[in-house]
Amino acid sequence: MFTENLTKQDEEIEALSSIYGDDWTTESDVTRSYKIRVEENKHEAILYVTMPPEYPSQSPPKFELSAPWMERKDKADLHQALNEVHLDNIGETVVYQWVEKIREILLTMKPPEVKKKIEQKQPDEENMDLSQVENCPEITHGEVIKDRKSSFQGHAAEVHSMEDVNAVLTKLKQNKKIVNATHNMFAYRIERKTDKGTMMLQDCDDDGETHAGGRMMKLLQILDQKNTLVVVSRWYGGIQLGPDRFRHINNATRQVIEQAGLLKK
């Protein structure tokens, strides 16, 4: 079966290379990892795919999507769309369908200059963000963890309200390197006193790195962290890390919490 899969993969790779030309790049022949650049409406997205021996008969390719300019919800919707394409084509090659689905979605998005004009017409929102940043809690930036061209860095702050959370996220977005990360996943837990006792306000966001936010949240719960926000930025280097990426995300989370003096003893 694997021999048949490899034959289908070879045929797909040859076709994709012919179709996309310079936008198609081989990252590694050994791991069968490839990069496809997709540009529409002056928006660019990079799709990284790795073809395991089980593809296409038993599983889809592994993929990473790099589109730092894209809003979290749009990125999550795009990931869902790619998963649906696979479910509609189980047992068949899907990379071409994935690329064209990305192209189709980019065509529906406003070009950058149009989006900028719209944002400029919303001064109230801009002033709100500036106000949040002025009252931003202190942010600690952790050490960078590197593995096979990917980099991970944690950022932590003590937060006591959603205003604090939004201020920290807004402040981080002002850093060009951070905002251009492939993923910026986060988790937070805030303890609140009420008339009925103590409650915990908590939430997380994967930002396209499936299950990452939930794992960060689980770690905060295990550590019994309170009034803590952690963001982990990942810059994808083109090589799939498999489960190791979650180990790096957890290590970056714990390290920056400790560095910020927030780790509970």
Does residue 40 sit in the same domain as residue 168?
Answer: no
Does residue 131 sit in the same domain as residue 239?
Answer: yes
**Alpha carbon 247 to chain centroid, angstroms:** 16
Count of structural domains within the chain: 2
Residues facing 192 on adjacent strands: 199
Q: Is residue 264 part of a domain?
A: no
Give me the numbers of helices (H) and strands (E) for the chain, helices first please: 9, 10
Q: Is the dihedral of CA 162, 163, 164, 167 positive or negative?
A: positive
Structure tokens at 243: 């489960």
Of 64, 35, 53, 252, give the one whose Cα is nearest residue 156.
Answer: 252
Q: Which of residues 75, 107, 139 is at a domain's end? A: 107
Does residue 92 sit in the same domain as residue 168?
Answer: no
Residue range(s) defining the domain that contains residue 76:
2-107
Q: Is residue 112 part of a domain?
A: no
Report the chain's C-alpha Rg in angstroms.
21
Does residue 180 sit in the same domain as residue 219?
Answer: yes
Exposed, middle or buried, 124 (CB in 10 Å: 0-12/13-18/19+)? exposed
Q: Which of residues 84, 107, 130 is at a domain's end? A: 107
Q: Say whether 44 sits in a helix, a strand or coil.
A: strand
Q: Is residue 113 part of a domain?
A: no
pTM score, whole prediction: 0.64
User: Which residue ranges in the chain fall short of pLDDT 70?
Assistant: 1, 111-134, 265
Does residue 75 sit in the same domain as residue 45?
Answer: yes
Contact yes or no for 149/237 (Cβ under 8 A): yes
Helix extents (H) in the chain: 2-20, 72-88, 95-107, 112-120, 123-134, 162-173, 176-179, 212-222, 244-259
What was the pLDDT predicted at 109?
81
Does residue 76 sit in the same domain as residue 33?
Answer: yes
Residues 187 and 154: their CA atoms lie apart, in Å, by 11
Does residue 88 sit in the same domain as residue 130?
Answer: no
The CATH number of whichever domain residue 185 belongs to comes to 3.30.230.30
Q: Is residue 172 part of a domain?
A: yes
Structure tokens at 234: 């990942």
pLDDT in tens, 168-199: 999 998 888 998 888 899 999 988 877 777 78
Does residue 17 sit in the same domain as residue 99?
Answer: yes
Does residue 127 sit in the same domain as residue 244?
Answer: yes
Residues 146 and 237: their CA atoms lie apart, in Å, by 10
Q: Is residue 115 part of a domain?
A: no
What was the pLDDT predicted at 132?
53
Q: Which of residues 50, 74, 107 is at a domain's end? A: 107
What was the pLDDT predicted at 98?
93
Does residue 249 sit in the same domain as residue 136?
Answer: yes
Does residue 72 sit in the same domain as residue 188?
Answer: no
